[in-house]
Chains A and B, each alone.
Chain A
């Protein structure tokens, strides 16, 4: 069925190291791929997004890469800091009879070890 798969479900990295989270999607027509960060007890908020006409996008320590052929995209966080500890969600708009429903991955709980 139409879905978005996300791995890993949990990730622990030493402060200063890099973290990578991967997502795959099923709808080849999807053309927008956002990443959201959710801190404990708060709402999800967008941290970076990429469109299908671009292979990579960077914003300071955060980057997203997209492989449309393989239908997967990844979040890269470099020089991790304690405030990066949170749950991260990928998402993709999946086509549904001419409309697009924004579907989220299952989330990755990232813990930065001081």
Chain B
């Protein structure tokens, strides 16, 4: 099992550019999450998904979009990148069936918007 895999690991974007952060998991988890972590700060939930075809907003969804067409993949789309989106992005997944379980994280994507 590879677990949760994110690509790319690093990226520099210019203001106004767009990009997609990829996330895939091979554990057949139904729940998937995107968090951002600003320097020295905590994990803020951007979007999450409880299964294929279902997504919902977290605390800080503005400027982002997601889709969940398959159980394995949960890409995060940034449109019109802004300096405020400079952060480390973590994708995570977990299995939920009546009760929450351990969330597994990807290695993170360090994004800088200049």
Give A contacts to B, CB under 8 Å. Answer: 6, 31-32, 34, 42-46, 49, 51, 89, 91, 93, 96, 99-107
Contact = CB atoms under 8 A, between A and B. Distances in A.
Interface of B: 31, 33, 35, 41-43, 45, 48, 50, 56, 58-59, 90, 92, 94, 96, 99-103, 105-108
Contacts of B56: 96, 99, 101
B108 A51 contact: no
Given A43-B105, A44-B105, A100 B42 contact: no
A13 B102 CA distance: 28
Contact of B102 (A49, A100, A106, A107): A49
A100 B107 contact: no
A99 B51 CA distance: 11
27 contacts: A31-B100, A32-B99, A32-B100, A43-B105, A43-B108, A44-B90, A51-B99, A89-B42, A89-B43, A93-B100, A96-B56, A101-B33, A101-B48, A101-B56, A102-B33, A102-B45, A102-B92, A102-B94, A102-B100, A102-B103, A103-B45, A103-B59, A104-B35, A104-B42, A105-B42, A106-B42, A107-B43
